[in-house]
Chain A
Amino acid sequence: MAQNIVTEATPYRTRPTMPPVLRGFLWAAIGFLVLNMATIAVDPFRGHPFITEISAVIGWVGGVIGWLLGVGGWEGVVLPLFGVPNPWVAAPGWRKYLELSTEHKVIGIQYLISSTGTFGIAGLLAMGIRYELMQPSLHFFTYPDQYLTAVGVHGTLMMFAVGTVALVGGLGNYMVPLMIGAKGTVFPRLSGIGHWLVPAGVLTVIFSPLFGYWTTGWRGYEPLASQDPSGIIYYYLGVAALTLSSTCVAVNLAATIVFHRSNGVTWARLPLFVWGILTVSLLNLIWLPEIQMTFVLGLLDRLVPFNFFDAIGSPLNYLSLFWLFGHPEVYIVVVPALALWNEIIPVMAQKSLFGRSWAVIGLIFVMMLSGLVWAHHMFTNMRNSEMFPFSFFTEMISIPTGFSFLAAIGTLWKSRYRLFTPGLLVIMSMFNFLVGGLTGVFLADPPVNLEVHNTFFVVAHFHYTIIGGMVFTWVAAMYYWIPKLSGRMYNEFWGKLLAIVIFIGFNGAFSQMFLLGLHGMNRWVPAYPPYLKPMNYEVSLFAFLLGAGFIGHGIHLWWTWVKGPVTPDNPWNGRTLEWLTTSPPPPENFNGEVLVTGSFYRYDIDKPAAVLHPPE
């Protein structure tokens, strides 16, 4: 009873007076300074520097908290926790993307923007790496450790802010509730605040070199990390923020899939992309905390210091702890992409999905097996007896992975496949991932592995799976769903042309890296024996073409978003639920109640899979 009175008596001002992002930066600075000084006061260091390694860590925590509160966490999360009513009024227009949001579609686009921006930055670093490698000696970077930092920042950002994020935090957040007929997600505030950890983490990693060039690459191998300058600390912390963000996504989307499916979306009818996101979320929930704890150990090893991972402790423990997460991570990246193939192909082909249950079983078994193969990254340093099980499971995991091909191939047979840009890119992605997967079989054989491990053969292999598999599919999915996101259609000519450009650039660059590896080119080297120069030179030229192609796609998609011709709600004639509503969807996703009565993947049936009952 008292509560109502309070509500009316104290109209709380809920819009901040300055743009939330600006306020975020300001509060971050304040948060950093406060906790930094508090630490220095408690724990002064000889020579009295203003920032020490320890205060930099604790100050950083204050900075991140300030940032999260500043972008809207204060009004959107903290005040409501204390029962202050009417928490947060979303800004109109494009400004809603620049502040805390609780709407999954806005959050999805925020993740997509953050991921794309990071892809641009980390991609630029890749161009720098390839420019350096055009010559056999240092000519572009000033110091070798500067080059190694570029490689490390490139890898770290690409893995933790692009590979793990774009299809899950981005398209997953946007599409999953739509595809299960839900009006929202289970933990909208957690999800909203989670996004803002991405810019925090990315900025932390990008600016880490200011504290000294770190040389370990994205794996942070010990004991080298303990020896590195302080910049490595901001690698640990940046990754902590990024993985925390993905954990929030996993909690929210897994719960949403389990509890918020609309009437008739049974487990047997669950769309494939949703299965992909569910399996990936489980992987994230299991393995992200594991890597976070590992990095806490690494951080403590350095700050205290302990001797967990040096010659007195055991360097191999770090390696195992890293790859325990590291291998599932590659499936976290690729599983949503595999699921998307079989989401897009039936629609483009207007043909029923072949072997749907095999496709789902494949995703689930990949998820379960991915925790059993980590040490195939460690054939060069394991006991002999361990080689048998790890090569066994590694070879076996290609079987469920192949089920995604099985379903796709069965669906394509005798179809009328429409070669629109998304369709073309999916075909290209299947080719690329095939190369990545088959070269993985070579790597699974220890004697071959011992020769090509840590060479450019491996660099080529994993870029084939990640760029070739995941990034190509990401681009395909963007073209597929941009009409849904914006209500506008891209330009078919430019879409196809740019698809061909990245296909040529990608294959030209990375196929030759296999040969470089076989000819003795190792990784993490800004300088190499001169006999390897001609091929490196060519690789770099193709890499620049690839970079230009990605920029082209970015501009084209941006143009579509603001200026593309308006398109009908369901331009592809798809049957999944996101096509049942308007494009773009209203804030509540559906104007009415969704009732699903049939399969999303049966094109032999005229009746739509679902109906929308308008509100009474």
Chain B
Amino acid sequence: MGEVVGFVVVWIILSLLAEWGLSAVKAHTLYDVIASQGFLAERAFNFLATWLTPVFVFVVVYLIYVLIRFHAPNGKPERSRSQFIRNKGFVAFWVGFSFFVNILFWLHPTSADLEQMFASDMPSRNHGDLIVDVTARQWEWIFSYPQYKVTQAVNHLGEDELELPVGRKVEFVMRSYDPFHTYDVYAGVIHDFWIPAFGTKEDVIPGITRYEYIRPTVLASYKTNPMVRVQCAEVCGPGHPWMEAPVSIVTPSHFSKWIKHQQTLEAHAGG
């Protein structure tokens, strides 16, 4: 019994220390997020980390304990004096705890967050969203703003870029096909629309139109934070690593200026 108490004490102390260390790390956030969905994911991540830390510490402390306390000093085969093959208390604790933790995790964060996520996708919640049509082709992201009649937003170098006003909900309408080679059925492959700082990603699949709803809440730009970029996250052939585009989250007034600029650019294009 003394052995058990000793171990449990060490476990509790080290778990507390580990929790303290984890909260120190959490303060710096493991990843940068700037959008609603990202905060959801980050909270879930932290919740799971908090609960799993004592589990991790339990096994690690145990293994180290074995190395120190329970190893045979010389390699001679020597039987342990205690030879139990069952212990109801320990088994009940282990099995009970693992059921408890896993069901807990499925209820919270999983189910709770999913409900929240699905709710934000509902049509009733999405009046007046900023609509951005996202077209994925090998190997380019094309962004159009149908509400503003902008068919392809580009920066001063002519590269595709995505700019969004802070605080406004966005509806991404995503399709994978090649607008320049619509006759080729093999030209469409699976891509994945990922903005690391948004904390979510979604596959873009040939033949299916998919939607993503998200609200960016922090001013940010690729120029200062490389996680604020669109990055294809599903292998789509040799151009895959370079299938990226810069993103900026700007103030609403800056956004209207930018949209006007895009409209003028398009008015003069091809003219």
B-binding residues in A (CB < 8 A): 143-145, 148, 215-217, 221, 223-224, 226-228, 307, 310-312, 314-316, 349-356, 358, 380-381, 384, 387-388, 391-392, 395-396, 398-399, 402, 405-406, 409-410, 412-420, 427, 430-431, 434-435, 438, 441-442, 444-448, 450-451, 453-455, 515, 518-520, 522-529, 531, 572-573, 601-604
CA distance A384 to B40 in the complex (A): 16
Whether A148 pairs with B79 at a CB distance below 8 angstroms is: no
Residues in A with CB closer than 8 Å to B114 are: 384, 387-388, 391, 446-447
User: Which residues 61-115 of B have a CB within 8 angstroms of A?
Assistant: 62-63, 66-67, 70-72, 75, 77-87, 90-91, 94-95, 98-99, 102, 105-106, 109-111, 113-114
Whether A451 pairs with B201 at a CB distance below 8 angstroms is: yes
| Given A315-B190, A352-B83, A518-B31: A413 and B117 interface contact (C-beta under 8 Å) | no
A-B contact pairs, 23 of them (CB 8 A): A221-B234, A310-B186, A311-B176, A311-B185, A350-B80, A353-B85, A380-B201, A380-B234, A381-B210, A391-B106, A402-B94, A406-B94, A406-B95, A418-B72, A445-B109, A447-B40, A450-B41, A450-B199, A451-B31, A451-B38, A520-B227, A520-B231, A522-B231
**Which of A143, A307, A354 touches B185 (beta carbons < 8 Å)?**
A307
Residues in A with CB closer than 8 Å to B109 are: 445, 447
Interface check B118, CB cutoff 8 A: yes
Residues in B with CB closer than 8 Å to A143 are: 238
Q: What's the minimum C-beta distance from A102 to chain B, rounded to whole angstroms?
A: 36
**Which of B71, B194, B241 touches A144 (beta carbons < 8 Å)?**
B241
Whether A445 pairs with B207 at a CB distance below 8 angstroms is: no
Interface contact tally, CB-CB below 8 A: 264
CA distance A435 to B67 in the complex (A): 19
Residues in A with CB closer than 8 Å to B200 are: 447, 450-451
Residues in A with CB closer than 8 Å to B194 are: 454, 522
Interface check B148, CB cutoff 8 A: no
A-B contact sample (14 more), CB < 8 A, given A380-B203, A395-B105:
A144-B241, A224-B237, A416-B80, A417-B71, A430-B63, A434-B60, A447-B41, A447-B110, A447-B199, A450-B201, A518-B30, A519-B196, A519-B227, A522-B194
CA distance A594 to B192 in the complex (A): 59
Q: What's the minimum C-beta distance from B186 to chain A, rounded to whole angstroms?
A: 5
Q: Which 6 residue pairs across A and B have the least CB separation, nearest first?
A: A311-B206, A604-B83, A520-B196, A525-B241, A381-B203, A311-B207
Whether A441 pairs with B48 at a CB distance below 8 angstroms is: yes
Across the two chains, which residue of chain B brings its CB closest to A427? B63
| Given A518-B30, A603-B83: A451 and B91 interface contact (C-beta under 8 Å) | no
Across the two chains, which residue of chain A brings its CB closest to B90? A410
Q: What's the minimum C-beta distance from B221 to chain A, rounded to whole angstroms?
A: 14
Residues in B with CB closer than 8 Å to A310 are: 185-186, 188, 206-207
Interface check B252, CB cutoff 8 A: no
User: Which residues 94-144 of B have a CB within 8 angstroms of A?
Assistant: 94-95, 98-99, 102, 105-106, 109-111, 113-114, 117-118, 121
CA distance A102 to B59 in the complex (A): 44
Interface check B248, CB cutoff 8 A: no
CA distance A431 to B3 in the complex (A): 22
Whether A399 pairs with B102 at a CB distance below 8 angstroms is: yes
Across the two chains, which residue of chain B brings its CB closest to A225? B189
CA distance A528 to B241 in the complex (A): 7
Interface check B236, CB cutoff 8 A: yes
Whether B40 pairs with A221 at a CB distance below 8 angstroms is: no
Whether B202 pairs with A454 at a CB distance below 8 angstroms is: no
CA distance A228 to B239 in the complex (A): 13
CA distance A416 to B109 in the complex (A): 42
| Given A315-B206, A430-B63: A221 and B80 interface contact (C-beta under 8 Å) | no
Q: What's the minimum C-beta distance from B234 to chain A, rounded to whole angstroms?
A: 6
| Given A312-B185, A391-B110, A445-B109: A434 and B85 interface contact (C-beta under 8 Å) | no
Interface check B55, CB cutoff 8 A: yes
Whether A453 pairs with B201 at a CB distance below 8 angstroms is: yes
Q: What's the minimum C-beta distance from A42 to chain B, rounded to whole angstroms?
A: 27
Across the two chains, which residue of chain B brings its CB closest to A347? B77
Residues in A with CB closer than 8 Å to B20 are: none
CA distance A454 to B233 in the complex (A): 6
Q: What's the minimum C-beta distance from B86 to chain A, rounded to whole angstroms?
A: 6
**Which of B72, B106, B190 touches A419 (beta carbons < 8 Å)?**
B72
Q: What's the minimum C-beta distance from B50 to chain A, rounded to whole angstroms?
A: 12
Interface check B205, CB cutoff 8 A: yes
Whether B235 pairs with A216 at a CB distance below 8 angstroms is: yes
Residues in B with CB closer than 8 Å to A529 are: 226, 229
CA distance A316 to B47 in the complex (A): 32
Across the two chains, which residue of chain A brings its CB closest to B99? A399
Whether B202 pairs with A442 at a CB distance below 8 angstroms is: no
Q: What's the minimum C-beta distance from A213 to chain B, rounded to whole angstroms?
A: 8
Across the two chains, which residue of chain B brings its CB closest to A522? B233
Residues in B with CB closer than 8 Å to A450 are: 37, 41, 199-202
User: Which residues 177-228 of B have a CB within 8 angstroms of A?
Assistant: 177, 185-190, 192, 194, 196-197, 199-203, 205-208, 210, 226-227
CA distance A265 to B175 in the complex (A): 60
**Which of B55, B70, B79, B110 touches A438 (beta carbons < 8 Å)?**
B55
**Which of B90, B118, B235 touches A224 (beta carbons < 8 Å)?**
B235
Q: What's the minimum C-beta distance from A489 to chain B, rounded to whole angstroms?
A: 12
Interface check B173, CB cutoff 8 A: no
CA distance A496 to B245 in the complex (A): 49
CA distance A219 to B38 in the complex (A): 28
Interface check B44, CB cutoff 8 A: yes
CA distance A384 to B211 in the complex (A): 12
| Given A312-B185, A352-B84, A603-B83: A223 and B70 interface contact (C-beta under 8 Å) | no
Across the two chains, which residue of chain B brings its CB closest to A514? B30
Across the two chains, which residue of chain B brings its CB closest to A146? B238
Whether A427 pairs with B83 at a CB distance below 8 angstroms is: no
Interface check B52, CB cutoff 8 A: yes
| Given A446-B114, A451-B41, A520-B226: A352 and B236 interface contact (C-beta under 8 Å) | no
Across the two chains, which residue of chain A brings its CB closest to B117? A447
**Which of A391, A434, A603 touches B56 (beta carbons < 8 Å)?**
A434
Q: What's the minimum C-beta distance from B246 to chain A, rounded to whole angstroms?
A: 11
Across the two chains, which residue of chain B brings its CB closest to A518? B31
CA distance A447 to B63 in the complex (A): 32
Q: What's the minimum C-beta distance from B57 to chain A, rounded to whole angstroms?
A: 11
Whether B240 pairs with A524 at a CB distance below 8 angstroms is: yes
| Given A381-B205, A418-B77, A441-B48: A224 and B85 interface contact (C-beta under 8 Å) | no
Whether A354 pairs with B202 at a CB distance below 8 angstroms is: no
| Given A223-B189, A358-B91: A420 and B85 interface contact (C-beta under 8 Å) | no
**Which of A307, A351, A454 touches B201 (beta carbons < 8 Å)?**
A454
Residues in A with CB closer than 8 Å to B232 are: 522
Residues in A with CB closer than 8 Å to B3 are: 414
Whether A448 pairs with B185 at a CB distance below 8 angstroms is: no
| Given A315-B207, A409-B62, A454-B192: A380 and B106 interface contact (C-beta under 8 Å) | no
CA distance A613 to B241 in the complex (A): 66
Whether A226 pairs with B226 at a CB distance below 8 angstroms is: no
CA distance A217 to B194 in the complex (A): 20
Whether B37 pairs with A447 at a CB distance below 8 angstroms is: yes
